[in-house]
């Protein structure tokens, strides 16, 4: 610490001496990059209403004479990017991110963070950048949202640590998750897929709430998350990452980018090793799931810079994983499927293959063909229940993209064809008299052809997107999905948005709701399940302004979701049964969020957010609050970076209010829990030290070591009918220390 203080004192003295020597010729310096941190060479920096200017060098750096007028403005501009006009004030060093003209409004003054931004679109879309992802131990996609207030990575089964990404407080099944713009995370890949994408492969994440484009189908109800992998043309040639935590688990990642004139290639490798066995609450069950995971991803991109009419991308991903949890003594090699010791074992293999082809017929008209395919095979055991499943999904999108008018209005017209085959078989290796849903299921299989049209209109301060899909469902016929999005630019720094639209999705019950298999409840289908349908409406407002060295963004949104048909397991009616039916009564989700972001000078960010959630159903005139949803949430995130970007300190605080739990009144007294969970809070800290090509990061998650004790119901009788590991509502692992290394070759 003394060395740190002395070094900064030394730098301060040098700056003071330099200022004294410079006199009236003091310079303002800075760096100009794009949103991903790539230097913009030859960008213009000019004093407004003057001929005093300069351009950035090959490192994106600039130096310009200070004209000593605190009210004067600097203009930053670069071809293809939005120009920015900023008040210089007393700031002598700027690090600016300019944004491509067709993707975003505004500029992040938070120069070191490169964290989040809002896209310049009719929908409210938050873009999470690389620096935001690196603010926590984001070893996988599920860990990328610990500093984000829009998405919650919720655990659905504490024994296998299955997770889902929730938006608007609704189950993650209502949120469409895309990878590289394609629907590759669904079905059998849904519960474990969020852990299969390493954070090191992710360049950015686009998060939208509520209604969005019809381009990727009708499945989105609560929102959409789009994970964009690194672009080989822009990322580091070599990127290595190693991570280990106090639970004994470690992860290793390697990215290799090959950059040529006409083609580029990105290859990534990932390995996760299992944690040690740990049982802090002494219930006989492991607190940490043991995971062996390997994945390989390769993306090839082609584009001739001298003839850019044709663009092509082809990618493949292989993912092999085993997860094991259960009683401390359980060994899958000896006890799998027996009643000697209870265990849950997941064994899966997954393959993705996708392509995107684009051909420009004219400057205004292009044709795009997108095709994605995945196959997921699983052989899983939940105690004495065996779940074997095989899914093959193929989705094809073909559409024309036409721009017209002075404002580049846009029309998309296309066809969609989805072929989904899902075969599931549930058997018992030992008979449990209270389990009666074993058998073969194929209700997750379907063929879904469709057509869609979407129009984007830009007029004055208005952006209007109208879309319509028509999809033909085998059992219910043609279904129309309309969507409407409107943005009004109140001022240069304020946006008001409104959206309303419909969503339809075909449920894949066991693949998506793994807690049905993990507990010992019987499952009863009271009728044939139809597609789920809902209407979502939302409004949001964002306002940004500057106060000397302070950049402030204030925002608020409200979303209302009304289901017309919902498949939500009824856990309250009977202690030992989960009932599944088409609920066509009143089922509502209300979500309110208030958020503010403060960036002070160039090296401190503060994010504050509050969420209110209310999810309920009206049954026979009574209002039933849905379980496991906190009514109130608070997030506080602090990020401080030294001016030289050598050190970064991130502290995040979460607070969750109590949440209703499924009724246990009919359970034996020793297995009853309260009607509500307790409220709780967590802190996490990360410190990062950077050198030009090397980084060390370390931190503590759940600093106060809060744990939900005994999260497994009836853990003393794992083969009895009241056993249920899906009653988790808070952290179950306790405090975690971690340390990681990053190495880059540009």
Choice among 47-51, 581-585, 623-627 with the minimum mean pLDDT:
47-51
Residue 134 DSSP one-character state: T
Please indicate, yes or no, whether residues 87 and 182 belong to a single structural domain of this protein: no
Distance CA 710, CA 330 (A): 18
CATH number at residue 46: 2.60.40.1120
Phi, then psi, of 433 in degrees rounded to 5: -60, -25
Distance CA 716, CA 739 (A): 36
Please indicate, yes or no, whether residues 374 and 308 belong to a single structural domain of this protein: yes
Predicted pLDDT at 342:
95
Predicted pLDDT at 112:
33
DSSP conformation letters of 407-436: TTEEEEEEEEEEEEEEEEEEEESS--TT--
**Closest Cα to residue 32, out of 83, 103, 91?**
83
Domain annotation covers residue 253: yes
Contact 632, 592 (CB under 8 A): no
Domain annotation covers residue 118: no
Please indicate, yes or no, whether residues 93 and 166 belong to a single structural domain of this protein: no
Please indicate, yes or no, whether residues 176 and 80 belong to a single structural domain of this protein: no
Q: What is the mean pLDDT of residues 630-655?
A: 94
Predicted pLDDT at 306:
84
Choice among 132-141, 199-208, 456-465, 478-487 with the minimum mean pLDDT:
132-141
Distance CA 527, CA 504 (A): 19
Buried-state track 547-562, b at ≥16 Cβ within 10 A, e below 16: eeeebbbbbebbbbbe
pLDDT of residue 595 exceeding 70: yes
Please indicate, yes or no, whether residues 81 and 225 belong to a single structural domain of this protein: no
Domain annotation covers residue 558: yes
Please indicate, yes or no, whether residues 90 and 139 belong to a single structural domain of this protein: no
Domain annotation covers residue 15: no
Distance CA 325, CA 382 (A): 10
pLDDT of residue 625 exceeding 50: yes
Please indicate, yes or no, whether residues 40 and 175 belong to a single structural domain of this protein: no
Contacts of 39 (CB under 8 A, 6+ apart): 31, 32, 33, 56, 58, 59, 60, 61
Of the candidates 75, 97, 119, which is a domain's last residue?
97
pTM: 0.84
Distance CA 383, CA 285 (A): 13
Number of domains in the chain: 2
pLDDT of residue 576 exceeding 70: yes
Predicted pLDDT at 85:
80
Q: What is the mean pLDDT of residues 154-161?
A: 89
> Given CA atoms 53, 57, 63, 65 in this order, what sign does their dihedral have?
negative
Please indicate, yes or no, whether residues 635 and 502 belong to a single structural domain of this protein: yes
Q: 135 burial class (0-12, 13-18, 19+ CB within 10 angstroms)?
A: buried
Domain annotation covers residue 228: yes
Q: Which domain holds residue 203?
A: 134-745
pLDDT band at 399 (very low <50, low <70, confident <90, very high): very high
- Around 584, how many Cα atoms within 13 Å sit in the side-chain half-sphere? 5
Predicted pLDDT at 568:
87
Domain annotation covers residue 105: no
Please indicate, yes or no, whether residues 417 and 291 belong to a single structural domain of this protein: yes
pLDDT of residue 18 exceeding 60: no
Contact 568, 174 (CB under 8 A): no
Cα-Cα-Cα-Cα torsion 134, 138, 142, 145, nearest 10 degrees, comes to -30
Please indicate, yes or no, whether residues 199 and 87 belong to a single structural domain of this protein: no
DSSP conformation letters of 603-663: TEEEEEEEEEEEEEEEETTEEEEPTT--SEEEEEEEEEE-TTSSEEEEEEEEEE---B---
Predicted pLDDT at 88:
72
Predicted pLDDT at 89:
66
pLDDT band at 115 (very low <50, low <70, confident <90, very high): low
Predicted pLDDT at 70:
58
Contact 637, 147 (CB under 8 A): yes
Domain annotation covers residue 6: no
pLDDT of residue 323 exceeding 80: yes
pLDDT of residue 114 exceeding 80: no
Please indicate, yes or no, whether residues 141 and 93 belong to a single structural domain of this protein: no
Please indicate, yes or no, whether residues 431 and 314 belong to a single structural domain of this protein: yes
Q: Which residue has the higher pLDDT, 50 or 397?
A: 397
Buried-state track 448-477, b at ≥16 Cβ within 10 A, e below 16: bebebebebbbeeeebbbbbbbbbebeeee
Domain annotation covers residue 636: yes
CATH number at residue 559: 2.40.170.20
Distance CA 239, CA 234 (A): 12
Choice among 317-326, 603-612, 663-672 with the minimum mean pLDDT:
663-672
Contacts of 319 (CB under 8 A, 6+ apart): 196, 293, 294, 295, 348, 349, 350, 351, 352
pLDDT of residue 285 exceeding 50: yes
pLDDT band at 326 (very low <50, low <70, confident <90, very high): very high
| Tens-digit pLDDT profile for residues 92-113 | 778 888 877 543 333 332 233 3
Q: Which two tokens stand for residue 317?
A: 């991903």
Q: Which two tokens stand for residue 410?
A: 């846009």
pLDDT band at 71 (very low <50, low <70, confident <90, very high): low
Contact 121, 105 (CB under 8 A): no
The residues facing 294 across adjacent strands are 271, 320
């Amino acid at each position: 610490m003394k060395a740190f203080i002395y070094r900064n004192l030394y730098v301060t003295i040098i700056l003071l001496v330099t200022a004294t020597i410079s006199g009236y010729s003091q310079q303002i310096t800075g760096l100009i990059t794009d949103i991903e941190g790539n230097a913009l060479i030859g960008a213009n920096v000019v004093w407004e209403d003057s001929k005093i200017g300069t351009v950035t060098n090959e490192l994106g750096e600039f130096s310009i004479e200070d004209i000593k007028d605190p009210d004067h403005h600097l203009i930053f501009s670069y071809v293809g990017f939005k120009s920015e006009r900023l008040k210089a004030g007393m700031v002598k060093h700027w690090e600016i991110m300019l944004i491509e003209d067709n993707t975003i409004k505004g500029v992040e003054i938070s120069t070191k963070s490169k964290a989040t931004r809002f896209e310049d679109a009719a929908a409210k879309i938050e873009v999470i950048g690389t620096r935001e992802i690196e603010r926590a131990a984001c070893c996988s996609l599920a860990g990328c949202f610990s500093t984000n207030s829009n998405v919650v990575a919720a655990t659905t089964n504490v024994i296998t640590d299955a997770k889902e990404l929730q938006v608007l407080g609704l189950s993650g099944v209502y949120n469409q998750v895309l990878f590289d713009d394609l629907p590759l995370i669904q079905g059998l890949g849904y519960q474990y897929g969020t852990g299969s994408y390493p954070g090191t492969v992710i360049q950015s994440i686009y998060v939208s709430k509520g209604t969005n484009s019809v381009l990727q189908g009708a499945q989105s109800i609560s929102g959409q998350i789009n994970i964009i992998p690194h672009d080989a043309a822009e990322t580091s040639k070599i990127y290595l990452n190693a991570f280990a935590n106090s639970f004994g688990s470690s992860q290793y990642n390697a990215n290799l980018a090959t950059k040529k004139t006409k083609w580029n290639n990105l290859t990534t490798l990932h390995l996760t090793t299992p944690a040690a066995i740990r049982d802090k609450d002494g219930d006989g069950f492991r607190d940490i799931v043991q995971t062996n995971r390997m994945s390989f991803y390769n993306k090839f991109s082609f584009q001739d810079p001298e003839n850019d009419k044709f663009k092509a991308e082809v990618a493949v991903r292989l993912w092999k994983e085993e997860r094991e949890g259960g009683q401390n003594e359980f060994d899958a090699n000896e006890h799998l499927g027996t009643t000697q010791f209870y265990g849950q074992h997941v064994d899966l293999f997954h393959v993705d293959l996708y392509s995107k082809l684009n051909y420009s017929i004219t400057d205004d008209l292009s044709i795009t063909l997108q095709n994605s395919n995945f196959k997921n095979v699983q052989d899983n055991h939940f105690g004495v229940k065996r779940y074997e499943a095989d899914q093959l999904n193929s989705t094809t999108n073909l559409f024309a993209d036409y721009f017209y008018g002075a404002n580049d209005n846009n029309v998309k017209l296309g066809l969609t064809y989805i072929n989904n085959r899902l075969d599931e078989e549930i058997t018992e290796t030992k008979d449990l008299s209270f389990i009666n849903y074993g058998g073969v299921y194929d209700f997750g299989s379907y063929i879904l052809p469709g057509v869609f049209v979407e129009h984007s209109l830009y007029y004055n301060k208005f952006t209007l997107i109208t879309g319509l899909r028509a999809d033909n469902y085998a059992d219910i016929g043609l279904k129309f999905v309309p969507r409407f999005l409107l943005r009004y630019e109140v001022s240069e720094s304020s946006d008001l948005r409104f959206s309303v639209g419909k969503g339809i999705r075909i449920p894949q019950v066991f693949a998506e709701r793994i807690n049905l298999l993990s507990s010992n409840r019987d499952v009863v289908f009271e009728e044939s399940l139809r597609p789920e349908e809902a209407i979502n409406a939302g409004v949001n407002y964002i306002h940004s302004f500057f106060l000397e060295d302070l950049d402030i963004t204030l925002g608020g949104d409200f979303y209302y979701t009304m289901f017309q048909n919902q498949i939500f397991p009824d856990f309250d009616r009977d202690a030992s049964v989960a009932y599944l039916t088409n609920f066509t009564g009143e089922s509502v989700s209300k979500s309110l969020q208030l958020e503010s972001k403060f960036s002070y000078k160039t090296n401190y960010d503060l994010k504050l957010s509050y969420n209110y959630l209310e999810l309920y159903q009206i049954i026979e005139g009574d209002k039933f609050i849905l379980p496991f949803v906190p009514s109130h949430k608070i997030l506080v995130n602090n990020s401080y970076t030294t001016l030289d970007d050598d050190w970064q300190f991130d502290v995040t605080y979460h607070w969750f209010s109590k949440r209703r739990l499924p009724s246990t009144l009919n359970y034996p007294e020793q297995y009853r829990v309260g009607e509500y969970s307790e409220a709780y809070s967590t802190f996490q800290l990360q410190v990062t030290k950077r050198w030009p090509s090397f980084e060390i990061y370390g931190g503590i998650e759940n600093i106060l070591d809060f744990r939900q004790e005994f999260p497994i119901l009836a853990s003393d009788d794992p083969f009895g009918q009241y056993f249920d590991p899906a009653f988790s509502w808070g952290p179950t692992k306790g405090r975690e220390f971690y340390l990681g290394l990053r190495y880059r070759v540009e």
